[in-house]
Chain A
Amino acid sequence: MSTDTPASAPAESAAERYLAVQRSDEFAGLRRALRGFVFPMTVAFFLWYALYVILSAYARGFMGTKLIGNINVALVFGLLQFVSTFVIAWLYSRFANRRIDPVADRIRDEIGEVTHEHGPRG
């Protein structure tokens, strides 16, 4: 790992450096992108799950409606919770690979030069 500081940058403490990065536009964009995905998605799956639990408690007639043979709405609704969980996990993974990782890597590389005392260990 490099220990020399670029001549143009005056010696900065790690704390100042982190503060500067946190206030940079690039980092603000990363934070906005991440929060813009995970917060609404969390609200969405939580409401979707809450709807399922509330219907299980209060809409027994609807949940008991038979669709095909002995397969009723409750079973299908439950299985849809599995499907939505798998789909959200897949969507997040695709989003993070495309939108988060490249930006995070770039910022980390920029910081790496100053904070070598914290460098990856073990």
Chain B
Amino acid sequence: MNTVLAAEAGSTTARNLTITLFLVFVAITLAITVWASRQTKTATDFYAGGRSFSGFQNGMAIGGDYMSAASFLGIAGIIALYGYDGFLYSIGFLVAWLVALLLVAELLRNSGRYTMADVLAFRMRQRPVRTAAAVSTITVSIFYLLAQMVGAGALVALLLGIKPGTTFLGMDADTAKVATIILVGALMVIYVTVGGMKGTTYVQIVKAFLLMGGALAMTLLVLAKYKFNLSSLLGDAASASGKGAAFLEPGLRYGVETPGDALKTFYSKMDLLSLGIALVLGTAGLPHILIRFYTVPTARAARKSVLWAIGIIGTFYLLTLALGFGAAAIVGGQAITEQDKAGNTAAPQLAEALGVDFLGGDLGGATLLAIIAAVAFATILAVVAGLTLASSSSLAHDFYANVMKNGQASERQEVNVARISALVIGAVSIVLSIYAQNLNVAFLVALAFAVAASGNLPAILYSLFWKRFNTSGAVWAIYGGLLAAVVLVFFSPVVSGAPTAMFPDHDWQWFPLSNPGIISIPFGFLCGWLGTILSKESDEEKYAELEVRSLTGAGAH
């Protein structure tokens, strides 16, 4: 079976079709962005889309914001290469939404306005808390952005089939990577500066429909091929992997057991637990997810959006299970690793194989490959736009308006600064991504989750539920959790001292785990508690206001 990506006969067709479909997506989203810009007049329009979205619309947009290329291509790839362990990832990503639903979404919607810091700083001294929140928001968003943009660059060379020694439009693979990073960066800046939250939300909604449609269609084809017999699909995947029943059990990738090395086995299992905790607790602390709750008019609509998001995201992760095992069974691990060692091309390769089978011949393969490749680009664009918006909002609303100008900036000034911030953040991430393009930065998504869980989540939960919590506690929690996560990862095997590290030729590693959560999350909570009790500050009246407003929606913006 012809499963090599962009096989000779279909390669030009697939490439042209991918580019055409991608350009259609870009044209449609740019048109939406321009339309949205005409509806964007006030700061509320720019930051929160005028709070005019319905629960369903926002639920779709949350899905579009959350289901990154790391989930679509990454999880399908991990399942295709390591079997069951990819499923562990998707379960963590899904269960995490219960934290957002039960503890955060509605209370945040009721008491905040534009950013995460609105809630954190509600009853605190504005400047220190907003500064800390802006630092954390920008750090988390930049980590996430880098992973997505570097991934986009690598993906384009693979999906357009630019191999070493060949060129595309006169560009070799390296030039094409840089060009893609710049293109993705430029588009995300345009979506955000021109369309604001309204434009970005519609881009995410369109992307969510495309992604769900693409994943659903491929899943149906995979299942049809196996006559809807899940057991025989799993059996084929296991035997094609060459690992037998172990492929369907946990342990090939996370919590790996090394016979005769009890310490290594212990660390590996701790790493699995650490990753699991960060995934579940990180989501409700991700700034680009939190600001989505401000785009709906009421707490009830925020609840509905999370319910829709849980439905959509849950369904999507069930589909990736079929895609991953389908790729293992139909494409085979060897053909996948030949394309990409990390397995990121498993889903597009599966699309090509399914197209050959069901649509007929290489042309069919090329068509389905092109569609899925274009969906993958759309996925990346929607996610990076959300991240850019979150970080520029925080820079403008928290740092510029409330720290530098003491809350005295006009709406117009604030929005202008937000637009300029988006441009600056776009430029910075383009430069960093180009610099990092040949480094292994896949760990940055897990790091973003770890920082969100260690710094932001303790601050948010203490703010909403603990009367005694104060400025010092908030600042300690955010910086403490942030630093613990970043420092531990810096000294971990993902940065140095291992062949797969970001800097494989250096070795300053002493922390044994790749995921810092199991240490840094309790540390963040501890810092928040300690910072609080070491300071006498306590404002009973402001807590009364926050508690009443967050629970009842009185005075909500």
Contact = CB atoms under 8 A, between A and B. Distances in A.
A120 B556 contact: yes
Nearest to B299: A104
Given A53-B272, A85-B97, A64 B249 contact: yes
Contact of B50 (A27, A70, A122): A122
Interface in A37-77: 37-38, 41-42, 45-46, 49-50, 52-54, 56-58, 60, 63-64, 66, 68-72, 74-75
Contacts of A31: 547, 551
Contacts, number: 173
B555 interface: yes
Given A63-B249, A74-B248, A89-B98, A53 B51 contact: no
Contacts of B101: 89, 92
A81 to B, nearest CB: 5
A27 B276 contact: no
Contacts of B273: 53-54, 57
Interface string B86-100: 011001101101110
Nearest to B251: A60
B518 to A, nearest CB: 11
Contacts of B314: 82, 85-86
Contacts of A105: 552
Given A18-B548, A56-B255, A92-B102, A115 B555 contact: yes
B551 A70 contact: no
Which of B95, B257, B311 counts the most chain A CB atoms within 10 A?
B95
A96 B303 contact: yes
A19 B88 contact: no
A89 B192 CA distance: 32
B248 A70 contact: yes
B460 interface: no
A45 B544 contact: no
A111 to B, nearest CB: 4
Contacts of B12: none
Contact of A49 (B95, B257, B540, B554): B95
Contact of A81 (B91, B102, B303): B91
Contact of B307 (A50, A53, A93): A93
A36 to B, nearest CB: 12
A10 interface: no
A27 B303 contact: no
Size category, A interface: 35 or more
A18 B111 CA distance: 13
Given A15-B541, A122-B42, A21 B548 contact: yes
Contacts of A49: 91-92, 95, 276, 280
A86 B477 CA distance: 31
Interface in B304-318: 306-307, 310-311, 314, 317-318
A86 B311 contact: yes
Contact of A104 (B51, B94, B552): B552
A81 B230 CA distance: 18
Nearest to A106: B552
B466 to A, nearest CB: 12
Interface string B403-426: 000000000000000000000000
A16 B50 CA distance: 31
Describe B's contact surface by its main secondary structure: helix
Interface residues of B, number: 66
Contacts of B84: 74-75, 78
B214 interface: no
Interface string A20-39: 01110001001100110110
Given A78-B87, A85-B97, A107 B548 contact: yes
Given A82-B314, A107-B552, A53 B88 contact: yes
A97 to B, nearest CB: 8
Contacts of B251: 56, 60
Interface stretch (B231-239, B356-364, B494-502): B231-239
Contact of B541 (A18, A37, A56, A101): A18
B248 A111 contact: no
Contacts of A85: 94-95, 97-98, 310, 314
A63 B555 contact: no
Interface string B484-521: 00000000000000000000000000000000000000
Contacts of A50: 276
A6 interface: no
Interface string B224-266: 0000001110110010000001101111001101000000000
B47 to A, nearest CB: 10
B557 interface: yes
A60 B246 CA distance: 10
A86 B249 contact: no
A56 B272 contact: yes
B114 to A, nearest CB: 10
Interface of A: 14-16, 18-19, 21-23, 27, 30-31, 34-35, 37-38, 41-42, 45-46, 49-50, 52-54, 56-58, 60, 63-64, 66, 68-72, 74-75, 78, 81-82, 85-86, 88-90, 92-93, 96, 101, 104-105, 107-108, 111-112, 115, 118-122
23 contacts: A15-B542, A27-B551, A42-B98, A46-B280, A53-B92, A53-B276, A54-B273, A57-B250, A58-B269, A70-B245, A72-B249, A75-B248, A85-B94, A88-B102, A92-B101, A92-B102, A104-B299, A104-B552, A108-B553, A111-B552, A111-B555, A122-B42, A122-B557
Given A56-B254, A58-B269, A122-B48, 5 more contacts: A54-B273, A56-B250, A81-B95, A82-B91, A111-B555
Report the 5 A-B pairs with minimum CB-CB distance, sorted nearest first. A69-B231, A118-B555, A122-B44, A56-B250, A22-B544
